[in-house]
Structure 1
Amino acid sequence: MKRKNYAILMMLLIVLAMYMATIKMMKTRVIHSPTVTSHFLVDTEVCRMPNVDPFDSSIKSLVKYKNFIKCRGVTPLTFQEGQILRLNMGVINTKYKRQFSYCEYHGINRGNNMDDNKYQYTPHGTIFNKDIVVTEQFIRVKCYDKSHRVIYSNYHAFILQQPTRLQQLKTRFSKHNEENEPRETLNVVMIGVDSVSRLNLIRNMPTTRDYLLRHLGAIELQGYNKVADNTFVNIVPITTGRFVEELPWDEQKRGEPMDKYNFIWKNFSSCGYTTLYAEDYPQTGIFNYLKRGFHVPPADHYYRPFALAVDGDKSVWTTDHHCVGDRFETDMILNYTTEFMKLYNRVPYFGFSFLTRLTHDSISNTASADILYSNMFRDIHNQGLLNNTVLIFFSDHGMRFGAIRKTYIGKLEERLPMMFLVFPKWFYKKYPQITQNLKINQNRLTTPFDIYETLEDILYFTGGVTDDIDVQQRGISLFEEIPVSRTCDHAGILPHWCTCMSQQELSTNDQFYNMSVNYLIDYINQQFVLNNVTDICWPLKLGRTKSVHIIKNNDKLLKFKQSLNDVINRTVSYNEKRVHSTYIFQVAVSLMPGSGEFEAAVRYDETSRNFTMAGDISRINKYGHDSDCVHGSLLRKLCYCK
């Protein structure tokens, strides 16, 4: 009997141990995966946006972490402190001993030309062999030994005040206060990171996200949906409140600069705010890739001449062109932005920085940026630089090509970039109604157009909210409550990009399966005819149909399916009194030659029985140099050069 009791006791202990181990394992998993509190990021009658697991098994093999990128350049002989360039005498005395002779810097500037792709060095350099106060905003440094041989090269970017310009801005600001009477004056700093979805941020930048949410009280827009394909066409709505086509900007007029358009930083500048504009990768600049950029610098502090100079000097780059010596290129931009915030802490300012190179082509490189961004946010917070500043940390879209883009989750990620807004803590307390609306809007359908309207509200801040918002309004300030009745159509999101839609795959014997595929291929080939490039682009033919889905608002999918069956089975002519219906199909194909993979939404009109496009065409694999014979973003995605 004792043996039996002993055996039972041992079994109970084993079961208890297994239970405790399971609990421990579950707790461990929670650390690495977000807690799912709802099946939807947005859950309204007209928009249900799926809340998927960032670590879902379907993409597990595609989101493995690589080794963190580390800058392994030589220890620098020069470094910055404010406006002072210091010599690292410890390194000089140990590494170069008696070889070191002197250093010299030359300024880098745009000159008097109107070409956004040009820069020049000042003809006369400044020689120094001790710490020196720099008088140029951008400099190239070279140090020499006693035989006048270069032993060191580096680049430094400084934020230097411009007294005459500051006086002009002071006058503008006084006029702005007198005429518009803003209730608060808030600075704005926008920091954008190319191709980072909300899900990829959760996976690869957990420290940054945690700091934003827990320490800065950030508003995370979980239902933030892009409105177009690539960087340019998503940044224009944020900065102008318009689609590119509405500017209007003619892609074929490649010699036309961007100066005439009313970007948001112009609005702030006209009201007396000092401005900054900085990008890291000059070849792919938002307003420079396949464009002419700006004839006149768009901001008081314009980083582009410096970026061009550094990018052109192969001798200073290390670690796959991510580091300048021992410094991350990303960190150089972030430091430049921080110095801007520090120098102008007591006057109103607007800063726009956008970083591309590290994250554009790799979903896993984002992990290497985590410590860089979290450190910056911690530094500007600890230095009190956010006490009167709105920080907007955002992306343009998720990864647009590659293996993960071919998955369902990757398709969602492409359309749902990260978007965070941080307001001063006093602001949340002083304006409780706005704060409540901001929190509600975290789980409403939002877009780049809403960010533009919010920026306008910050500039002309009244402190009040509107009780009744028109849902037909394309852009709605986040200070207002986004209506629960808002659809993608209201928000200016074409069906191809809308993540409120449910989808159901069609069978291969469905008549719309082949009809929609054939329409898309015909449409693509027609673009070659319309743009007169049939002599240089091969006509495309079907290689493989990957899928055809029917898409519709979640709550209407079942009705939609039934109606579609009616359409398919109907052989008689339509009654004129029948309710007009349209159906949207999302088609994914691989076309030959070139094996280009395309995805597009096409619309079928039940009355006319005609197909039309329902948005852009996505290219979901890289085209490299296949389309170098053509210009324009659409043709470069489609053309396979002869």
Structure 2
Amino acid sequence: MIRNRVIHPSTVTSHFLVNTEVCHIPKVDPFDLSINTLIKDKNFIKCSNVTSLTFQDGQGLRLNMDVINTTYNGNFSYCEYHGINRGNNTDDNKYQYTPNGTIFKKDIVVTEQFVRVKCYDKSHSVIYSNYHAFILPQPIRLQKLNNRFSKHKEENKPRETLNVLMIGVDSVSRLNHIRNMPKTRDYLLRHLDAIELQGYNKVADNTFVNIIPMTTGRFVEELPWNEQKSGEPFDKYNFIWKNFSSSGYSTLYVEDDPGLGIFNYLKSGFHVPPADYYYRPLALAVEGDNSVWTSGHQCVGDRFETDMILNYTKDFLKLYHKLPYFGFNFLSRLTHDSISNTASADTPYSNMFRDIHNQGLLDNTVLIFFSDHGMRFGEIRQTYIGKLEERLPMMLLVFPKWFYKKYPKITQNLKINQNRFTTPFDIYETIKDILYFTGDVKGDVDVKQRGISLFEEIPVSRTCDHAGILPHWCTCMSQQELSTNDQFYNMSVNYLINYINQHFLLKNVTGKCWPLKLGRTKSVHIIKNNDKLLKFKQSLNDVINRTVSYDEKRVNSTYIFQVAVSLTPGSGEFEAAVRYDETTRNFTMAGDISRINKYGHDSDCVNGNFLRKLCFCR
């Protein structure tokens, strides 16, 4: 145990994810009592225990002979698969089956990327249906990409040619990631040395208007895409994967629920497939076949849909890990409408990351594991913490370990930026820097630059206005020192002292420690939300007009007070954040209590790091 560590007050950031002069984003407890009843349940989805008759093995489709022999008792006749493709049409909501099927009675190598399988008994009745997705080589396309890649290296001379894999999960805040995906989080942070952007703030309302800035560096209205012209496709816009494709990178684009597609919900999608491997035709085909869905439309037979799509992505990595690629995977069905369903995502994603790491598939790849926003609906959205976390989605980036060692200045900036105010525009600039990688750090970044690469240090003077974020979405709080005659000055100090005495010293170590009393108040600062964060403006469709006038109706506010005090006996110096809710007129703690001076042997009568920093032994 580090007993006498001195923490300088200016370095105490335990109460805030971002703690700069112009931006304070509070670090709230993911399991705060105010939301405890709304987050206690975890929903673990189980698929059907009826084993599939067919399964994939590389580019092969195999029959499960144990199922055939035990379930069908000699009544099995044959199976047939039909390919599924988009055909020559430009409608992103259509697909077609190949007219001629392929009959098989034993394992077979498929020649179609997506297939529907039906198996029959001896009376020619269908006894089984399923769908499979394969990553098949594209030799003609690959030759063209190789030529582009050679030209890219010759003209742009990138110092490194790193792949990019973007893995997105809809509606998962950083707090809900902590609550419901502990295995995934632990593996990313401990084993893969992930960089977590704790001050990552969304820039607009829903998925569409946050993914556009991340992949184009622009707001939707700057493309300019007109939401009133719902028939307009997205082919002409310069998404970041187009830059990679034109530079010789193979591309992957995967979403699950076709009705919730980023570019398809109330929109027309793409008239030309946006990537070399585009999952949508299979997603449409499976969606329309109710006979194969189980477990509340989360499983296809005995296979969890999330696993199916992550395995498809993994197969892409296996085929292309020694070649340049860009992959975009975004899944919505599981987590879009349910905060508790996120728990079911933990095992698939942790297994995915463990597998691709152990197989060396991340050795030359930047992994970006992200969400678009937190939960936008339901009871939790009505709470203060729910409003806050809806604006703070998870964002983690993993670079190869050799990269961290080879580029120490970039690594230093990445670590600093974990607790700076960041946005989807910064992700776009970072991905661009990966494509045209120089290895250099420019320094002296213009704070008014809307998007800033994470390879640079994000300025401490950055505000929401600099980043182009409307006040409604801004989680940065302003700070102001209170005067000694302000009513909250003494109220917040008294609450903190009572909390320490009642909840810790008296409750846990009665008789061992002296009750603490105020020696002097060093400072009290109010950290206040702008009122607009606590209001919600529904957009017409997906886009909020950036000149919209918000309803200025009075709403109840939550304030955070940062309190610094010296307590007696012992002259211990403490700093803590306490929260005041106007609705209930109650104080609660808003973070940990920090001891910011030495305590030596004052607390030898108790055990535990937290009690030792509070106790002055009798």
TM-score bin (small chain) = 0.7 to 0.9
**Map of 1:530 onto structure 2:** none
Q: Secondary structure of 1:490's match?
A: coil
Relative distance call for 1:296 and 1:207 in structure 2 (3 A) is same
Could you tell me how far apart the structure 1 residues matched to 2:448 and 2:478 are?
22
The correspondence of residues 404-423 of structure 1 with structure 2, limited to 5 A, is 404-423=380-399
2:549 aligned partner: 612
Contact 1:188–1:350 under 8 Å retained in 2: yes
Q: In structure 1, what is the Cα distance between the partners aligned to 2:246 and 2:31?
A: 46
**Residue in 1 that maps onto 2:180:** 204
**CA displacement 1:44-91 (0-9 Å, x = unmatched):** 000000000000000000001234111115200111111011111111
Please give the alpha-carbon distance, in whole angstroms, between the structure 1 residues aligned to 2:261 and 2:58.
Answer: 27
Contact 1:196–1:418 (CA under 8 A) maintained in structure 2 = yes
Aligned equivalents of 1:119, 1:602: Cα separation in 2: 38
State the alpha-carbon separation in 1 of the partners of residues 221 and 545 from structure 2: 19
When residues 73 and 254 of structure 1 are mapped into structure 2, their CA distance, relative to the original with a 3 A threshold, is farther
Unaligned runs of 5+ in 2: 1-11, 481-523, 553-618
* 8 Å contact from structure 1 (residues 73, 318) kept in 2: no
Alignment equivalent of 2:255, drawn from 271, 274, 279: 279
Q: Partner amino acid for 1:450?
A: D
Shift in alpha-carbon separation, 1:162–1:555, aligned structure 2, 3 A: farther
Kindly indicate whether residue 47 of structure 2 is the aligned counterpart of residue 71 of structure 1.
yes
Change (3 A) 1:234 1:590: closer
* 1:603-633 deviation line (CA, Å, top 9, x unaligned): 9xxxxxxx93499xxxxxxxxxxxxxxxxxx
Q: CA 1:453–1:262 in 2, change beyond 3 Å: closer, same or farther? A: same
1:494–1:614: 8 Å Cα contact kept in structure 2?
no
Q: Residues 242 and 590 from structure 1, CA distance in 2 versus in 1: closer, same or farther, beyond 3 angstroms?
A: closer
Residues matched between the structures, number: 494
Specify the code of the residue in structure 1 equivalent to 2:430. T
Q: Could you say if the C-alpha distance between residues 37 and 48 of structure 1 is closer, same or farther in structure 2, counting changes exceeding 3 Å? A: closer
Aligned residue identity for 2:368: I
**Structure 1 residues 4-43: aligned runs within 5 Å:** 38-43=14-19
Q: Report Cα offsets for 1:259-308 as digits up to 9, x if no partner.
A: 00000000000000000000000001000000000000000000000000
Q: Cα distance 1:585–1:288, how it changes in 2: closer, same or farther (>3 A)? A: closer
Aligned to 2:204: 228
Displacement, 1:501? 2.5
Counterpart of 1:622 in structure 2 is none
Residues 585/117 of structure 1: CA separation in 2 closer, same or farther (3 Å cut): closer
- Asked whether the equivalents of residues 585 and 602 of structure 1 are also in contact (C-alpha less than 8 Å), the reply is no
2:477 match: 501
The 5 Å alignment of 1:110-509 reads 110-501=86-477
Structure richer in helix, relative to its length: 1
1:224–1:417 CA contact under 8 A, matched in 2: yes
CA distance in 2: counterparts of 1:237 and 1:155, whole angstroms: 34
**Using the alignment, how far apart are the partners of 1:391 and 1:555 within structure 2?**
39
* Cα distance in structure 1, aligned partners of 2:355 and 2:59: 19
> How many Å separate the matches in 2 of 1:313 and 1:460?
44
Task: Give TM-score scaled by structure 2 length.
Answer: 0.77
Deviation at 1:601, TM superposition (A): 12
Change (3 A) 1:585 1:409: closer
SS of 2:471's equivalent in the other structure is coil
Does residue 18 of structure 2 align to residue 51 of structure 1?
no
**SS of the residue aligned with 2:427?**
helix
Cα shift readout 1:200-234 (whole Å, capped 9, x = no counterpart): 00000000000000000000000000000000000
Deviation at 1:556, TM superposition (A): 8.6
1:237 alignment partner, SS class: helix
Task: Evaluate the alpha carbon distance shift between residue 370 and residue 434 of structure 1 in structure 2; reply closer, same or farther with a 3 A threshold.
Answer: same
1:84 aligns with 2:21: no
Structure 1 position 492, deviation (Å):
1.2
The answer as to whether partners of 1:586 and 1:602 remain within 8 angstroms in 2 is: no
Q: Distance in 1 between matches of 2:537 and 2:437?
A: 50
Partner-residue secondary structure (3-state), 1:489? coil
AA at the equivalent of 2:134: F
Structure 2 counterpart of 1:535: none
Q: 1:149 to 1:503 in 2, by over 3 A?
A: farther
Q: 1:109 is aligned with what amino acid?
A: N
User: Aligned equivalents of 1:614 and 1:436: distance in 2?
Assistant: 43
Q: Kindly tell me: are residues 72 and 470 of structure 1, through their superposed partners in 2, closer, same or farther at Cα, counting changes over 3 Å?
A: same
**Contact map agreement 2:17 2:27 (CA 8 A) in 1:** yes
Structure 1 CA distance, aligned partners of 2:460 and 2:525? 14
- The Cα of 1:503 is off from its aligned counterpart by 10
Partners of 2:545 and 2:479 in 1: how far apart? 12
Q: Give the C-alpha shift of residue 430 in structure 1.
A: 0.4
State the alpha-carbon separation in 1 of the partners of residues 341 and 532 from structure 2: 34
Quote the Cα distance in structure 1 between the aligned partners of 2:17 and 2:437.
Answer: 29
| Correspondence for 2:505 | none
- The AA in structure 1 aligned to 2:391 is R
Q: Are the aligned partners of 1:495 and 1:614 in contact in 2 as well (CA < 8 Å)? A: no
Task: Structure 1: state its 5+ residue gaps.
Answer: 1-35, 505-553, 561-582, 604-610, 616-642
Cross-structure match for 2:574: none
| 2:168–2:371 Cα contact (<8 Å) kept | yes
- Residue 310 of structure 1 deviates from its aligned partner by 0.3
Cα 1:435/1:557, change in 2 over 3 Å? closer
Higher relative contact order (CA 8 A, sep 6+): 2
What SS does structure 2 have at the residue aligned with 1:45? coil
What letter matches 1:282 in structure 2? P
Residue 595 of structure 2 corresponds to which residue in structure 1?
A: none
Distance 2:536 2:306 in 1: 36
Runs of 4+ in 1 over 4 A off after TM superposition: 554-558, 583-591, 600-603
- Counterparts of 1:555-634 in structure 2, within 5 Å, are 585=532, 588=535, 612-613=549-550
1:277/1:303 contact within 8 Å kept: yes
Q: Distance in 2 between matches of 1:602 and 1:454?
A: 25
Equivalent residues of 1:247, 1:261 under 8 A apart = yes
Residue 493 of structure 1 and its aligned partner are, at CA, apart by 1.2
The TM-score, its normalising length taken from structure 1, stands at 0.74
Report if aligned partners of 2:169, 2:332 keep a CA contact under 8 Å in 1. Answer: yes
Contact 2:475/2:533, CA 8 A, preserved across alignment: no
Query: 1:289/1:503 Cα in 2 relative to 1: closer, same or farther (>3 Å)?
Result: farther
Is the CA contact 2:84–2:95 (under 8 Å) kept in the aligned structure 1? yes
Could you report, residue by residue, the CA deviation over 1:476-508 in whole angstroms, capped at 9, with x for unpaired residues?
A: 00000000110111111110000002599xxxx
